[in-house]
Amino acid sequence: DQQVKQNSPSLSVQEGRISILNCDYTNSMFDYFLWYKKYPAEGPTFLISISSIKDKNEDGRFTVFLNKSAKHLSLHIVPSQPGDSAVYFCAASDAGGTSYGKLTFGQGTILTVHP
Amino acid sequence: ETGVTQTPRHLVMGMTNKKSLKCEQHLGHNAMYWYKQSAKKPLELMFVYSLEERVENNSVPSRFSPECPNSSHLFLHLHTLQPEDSALYLCASSREWGTGELFFGEGSRLTVL
């Protein structure tokens, strides 16, 4: 049973437009969420996070939105740039529970930004 | 450059071989992790070490044996693997066990023939 799902395996966007990557989760105990970005032949790198006490967190061109009632989070990239082309992983943790520090990852979404 | 270095980057081994993957972090972190990424599957946590003590073993078969001799080094010893163990093995570290921000190495691509 996959507790974190990224239902879109891929997304293609024109440069300058908005990229929206989605993630759904089933475990209501999750209270900390992260996005990681991965280029080919490199390990994932941390991008942005959000705690369940917030519904939005912004860092430059990247904004993460959390809808706890829908168990849904999304990553918005505005404006999208060709260098943003990568695999994006959503991850979740129940920081206060027994699996403290154990991140559950989604399958990833391949983002391609066309010039 | 994330401060986490993995060697080798690529490894091909037969099912009867014994090999090891190595991870070194230069970040002064206290927690280190092994993750497995198979094709079209999410990253799966295998092991967690905090202050050199194993704190998580995520039902991993015994043919995978981790070792953490100090807080900067982590090994994954491989013995009599199966072809389905072919995957990308990622090492990561974090300041403490439980802080969500993991710093990953580039991974070791393992192929078992």
Query: Length of chain A in residues, anyone?
Result: 115
Kindly list the distances between the CA atom of residue A20 and the CA atoms of A6, A17, B57, B95, in Å, as whole numbers in the listed order.
12, 10, 35, 30
Token pair listed for A50? 């959000």
Element (H, E) at B9: none
Out of B2, B41, B98, name the one closest to residue A107 (CB): B41
Span of A30-34, A95-99, A102-106, B11-15 with lowest mean pLDDT = A95-99
Kindly list the distances between the CA atom of residue B39 and the CA atoms of A24, A59, A73, B87, in Å, as whole numbers in the listed order.
21, 31, 24, 7
**B107/A4 Cβ within 8 A:** no
pLDDT at residue A99, rounded to an integer:
54
pLDDT in tens, A15-66: 999 999 999 999 998 989 999 999 988 899 999 999 999 999 999 999 999 9
**B98/A45 Cβ within 8 A:** no
Out of B31, B100, B104, name the one closest to residue A32 (CB): B100
**A32/B42 Cβ within 8 A:** no
With bands split at pLDDT 50, 70 and 90, how would you rate the model's confidence at B19? Answer: very high
pLDDT at residue B2, rounded to an integer:
75
**A44/B43 Cβ within 8 A:** yes
pLDDT greater than 80 at residue B82: yes
Whether chain A has a CB inside 8 Å of the CB on B24: the answer is no
pLDDT greater than 60 at residue B91: yes
Kindly report the backbone phi and psi dihedral angles of residue B10, in degrees, each rounded to the nearest multiple of 5, phi listed first: -135, 140
Whether chain A has a CB inside 8 Å of the CB on B90: the answer is yes
With bands split at pLDDT 50, 70 and 90, how would you rate the model's confidence at A73? Answer: very high
